[in-house]
Amino acid sequence: MSGPTAPAPLPVAVLLSGSGRTLENLLAKIRAGEVPVAVVAVVASRGDVRGIEVARAAGLPCAVIRRRDHPDAGAHNAAVNAWLAPFAPRMIVLAGYLCHYQTPGWLDGPVLNIHPALLPRHGGRGMWGHHVHEAVLAAGERESGCTVHRVSDVYDAGEILGRLRVPVLPGDTPDTLAARVFAAECELYPRIIAEQADLLDHM
């Protein structure tokens, strides 16, 4: 008599605008059995980014849906969500996605984002990538880190689900601080994604 079957991994979609490092890290954690999800679709907001290569190398369905090809943010989001809907993701993970994302009505799970600073400090429109690390250093902060939060209608203002702190060291540059923060992101984001997947599985 066979034992109980393991639950199917939770289907998630990933949205990205850049190198795909966050997607790569998530896929590695999935393969290691640390995150009980399956990436079922990837959307890139630009056609010239490495993240597309990462998705295709992993055999994932991937679409390029550019903001500039649509008259406004609402039309762009409608196109993204129309493409995603047949894949039936239950969670959407923003992985360096630089467009304002609007949650579709059909999604029953969260939309998650990771920000490379300790929100609510150094967040908001235009605060991404090196802009954030430059602001942290200019403010003379003694620590930085990363924050995973639910996506809301306001940039970086949704419910905070987790933070991981890193020190700001003497002599740090935006590049050295970015490397330390990204290492923290690679630990925190998969952990929070796994926690949210477990919650959805028990709903």
The tens-digit pLDDT sequence of the chain (203 residues) is: 455 566 789 999 999 999 999 999 999 999 999 999 999 999 999 999 999 999 999 999 999 999 999 999 999 999 999 999 999 999 999 999 999 999 999 999 999 999 999 999 998 888 888 899 999 999 999 999 999 999 998 888 899 999 999 999 999 999 999 999 999 999 999 999 999 999 987 76
Domain count, the chain: 2
109, 124, 145 - which closes a domain: 109
**24 and 105 part of one domain:** yes
pLDDT tens for each residue of 16-40: 999 999 999 999 999 999 999 999 9
Q: Is residue 190 part of a domain?
A: yes
Alpha-carbon gap, residue 64 to 52, rounded angstroms: 8
**12 and 102 part of one domain:** yes
84, 109, 134 - which closes a domain: 109
**104 and 12 part of one domain:** yes
Q: Give the domain CATH number at 138.
A: 3.40.50.170
SS3 for the chain, per residue?
Answer: CCCCCCCCCEEEEEEECCCCHHHHHHHHHHHCCCCCEEEEEEEECCCCCHHHHHHHHCCCCEEECCHHHCCCHHHHHHHHHHHHHHHCCCEEEEECCCCCCCCCCCCCCCEEEEECCCCCCCCCCCCCCHHHHHHHHHCCCCEEEEEEEECCCCCCCCCEEEEEEEECCCCCCHHHHHHHHHHHHHHHHHHHHHHHHHHHHCC
Q: Is residue 30 part of a domain?
A: yes
Give me the domain span that covers residue 38. Answer: 6-109
Active site residues: 115
Q: Is residue 1 part of a domain?
A: no
